[in-house]
Chain A
Amino acid sequence: MLRKNEIVYHLIEHPFKEEKTIVFNRDKILETLNQFEEGMKLKRILHVPQKEDGQKDKLLVVEESLVKDYEKSSERSKGWTIFSIFGGLSLCYLLFTPLFRLGYVPLITFLVRNFKTITPEVINAYVDPGAQLAALAVGMFLGFFPLILSGVVGYDALKRARKDKKHAELMRNLEKCELEIVEKESLASFYKDSKDLVGEIRERAQDLRKIKDRYGRIETCKRIRDHLEKVIIITKLYELDGVNEHYHTLHDSFYDLENRLKKPRFWRNDEKYVRELLGD
């Protein structure tokens, strides 16, 4: 059972490349780091099948890339906020007049329905001053609508940027926590038992990189999922929860990829998705 003041990493074979990789749960790390903010002492534990040189450095690189990921995401969101505001301003400048006129449509429709000829006298007699002001207000609202919309989108992106920045700052605290590398027998057994399966998965991943035919790719995805399911069973067997979650996420991602390949959409970059998924 994990203690609340521990951040756990697992060193496993990369499922798609001839190298090792460290798996972890980002949400759990952030949750634990929040406690560090509150003054609790935290400990980082890297579970390895067998102690070797360079494992600590590898973890430090992973942690640094995590921080950079959050910082980059924060900057990206901030950039989108700024861009959406300028986009809103541009749209507002282009479309203000036609949108403003839309505000008068309900009143004009009412008048055209009820009177054959619209004159100043008719308007004075039948159109309430409140309705006149409302038309102006609605016109102004519609005119500024692109800016309002971009403001809402921008605010949302800014909130995301702040959240990511906070996460990046939290992640920076990781280096202040104590680090321990622990040999785990169950992980070593998992290595041994899943070796052939991982080899199979790597081969299929290689196929996925090479095959350009959509149906061939779908078939490969299915095979990879089958193998991943078997690996998931082995992780369960050795009670490697962290690794289990990682393989579950991978399994879901391949399921998602399969659906994407079945229903291609021109606006989606599935090729990029495949590259990211395979860690290329």
Chain B
Amino acid sequence: MKALTISKLLLGLVVLAGVILYRGFYTLSENEVAVIVEYETSELIGENLNELLRGKLENFRAHLIAIIYEQHSGGKAKIVRYDDPPIFPFPMSYGRLYWHLPSPLGKHHKISLEFHDYHFRIPLISTVAVDQENRPLMYKILTPDADGDPLTKDPGFRLMSAHDLFEVRFDPEAELAAMMLDVKGQFKITNLENYALWVKDSYGQMDRLIEEYGFYGEMIGGPYGDELIGAYLSSILDIYLWEAKYPALFEETEEKYPELPPSALDSMVARFMIENPEMLTEGFVGFVASPEFVEMTGVDLERGAGIDVLEEITTEMHEGTL
């Protein structure tokens, strides 16, 4: 009679152990590597208990949620390649089988070694005035309808106060047409170790995000891994557009038409930008890799993150709403 209970207990244990072990398995195909991040038990539990004992409930909550979302910082990263010895000597249907400590003690991120695509859309908005504390006061928006009259079509720049823009951005009823730049491109990994570290850091920042932004970080999370490259490049392109490309275009137009007043020049540049979107991203790849950019932003994509942004970028301009 007791055997029945013991057999169910053993079966239950086997199921639980199976489920736990299963979370640690992953497969790799020939063009893939995996970044494995493993945590010490003290890192997961010790730190949390410490925060709790010290009464730092904010940090405790941040760590707890980051552990649940498997997005906590720390841990040791290692790279597992296709050539590394797998569990079975023969390949499975999805590649070779590997195993790491199951969640939350370990996690993995697979990286394809082929070219990676990135894709992002940015509205063309620039800050034109800030207050003493560097808070934006006025914005300039490239829009298909600069005077705001729906009966006329006049592409150009529209000036807008921070307050008005806030109203538009946060009110779901309000709409503002803006020109959107759609950028597609590719990057390749040049230094796997650096890229792996970069991926590991990007995936393990939730606790910091929650500590910094509170509930926002808890709810939204952030772009991770490859998504982060898109977000990263989008903000770099924004800087490039308004700090390098737009002043150069304006200067060229001013030299060509010295007789025109600045407002007319502005409208001319706006129309040129809309008609020739490829001009806006021209030189962007070189700019990202240039020592000038590295000095200006302190970011060296190739050396720091092991990412090389490739030359071929397709750019399109289209109308969108903010």
Q: Can you add 5 more A-B contacts, CB < 8 Å, to A82-B12, A116-B171, A123-B214?
A: A82-B5, A90-B19, A93-B19, A101-B69, A118-B220
Pairwise interchain contact B69-A86, C-beta atoms closer than 8 A: no
Pairwise interchain contact B8-A82, C-beta atoms closer than 8 A: yes
Pairwise interchain contact A132-B215, C-beta atoms closer than 8 A: yes
**Alpha-carbon separation in the docked complex, A136 to B62 (Å):** 11
Asked if B260 is at the interface of the complex by the 8 Å CB criterion, the answer is no
Residue tally, chain A, CB below 8 Å to B: 39
Chain B binder among A14-22, A72-80, A237-245: A72-80
Residue of A75, A79, A124 with highest tally of chain B CB at under 10 A: A79
Given contacts A107-B219, A116-B170, contact A96 B68 (CB under 8 A): yes
Interface string of A110-135 (1 = CB under 8 A from B): 00011111111011100100001001
- Grouping DSSP codes into helix (H, G, I), strand (E, B) and loop, the B interface class, with mixed when no group exceeds half, is helix
The 10 lowest CB-CB distance pairs between A and B, nearest first, are A86-B12, A79-B8, A120-B216, A90-B19, A120-B213, A83-B8, A75-B4, A83-B12, A79-B5, A75-B1
Pairwise interchain contact A114-B9, C-beta atoms closer than 8 A: no
Asked if A199 is at the interface of the complex by the 8 Å CB criterion, the answer is no
Asked if B310 is at the interface of the complex by the 8 Å CB criterion, the answer is no
Scan residues 131-171 of chain A and give those whose CB is less than 8 A from a CB of chain B.
132, 135-136, 143
Interface string of B108-151 (1 = CB under 8 A from A): 00000000000000000000000000000000000000000000
- Grouping DSSP codes into helix (H, G, I), strand (E, B) and loop, the A interface class, with mixed when no group exceeds half, is helix
**Alpha-carbon separation in the docked complex, A229 to B50 (Å):** 75
Pairwise interchain contact A86-B16, C-beta atoms closer than 8 A: yes
Asked if A100 is at the interface of the complex by the 8 Å CB criterion, the answer is yes
Provide a sorted-by-A list of 23 A–B residue pairs whose CB atoms are within 8 angstroms: A71-B1, A75-B2, A75-B4, A79-B5, A79-B9, A82-B9, A83-B11, A83-B15, A86-B15, A89-B16, A90-B16, A93-B19, A94-B19, A94-B23, A104-B219, A108-B219, A115-B170, A116-B170, A116-B322, A119-B216, A123-B219, A124-B216, A135-B219
Report the minimal beta-carbon distance from A191 to chain B, rounded to whole angstroms: 37
| Neighbouring B residues of A96 by C-beta, 8 Å | 68
**Alpha-carbon separation in the docked complex, A104 to B217 (Å):** 12
Asked if B13 is at the interface of the complex by the 8 Å CB criterion, the answer is yes
**Alpha-carbon separation in the docked complex, A89 to B15 (Å):** 10
Pairwise interchain contact A136-B61, C-beta atoms closer than 8 A: yes
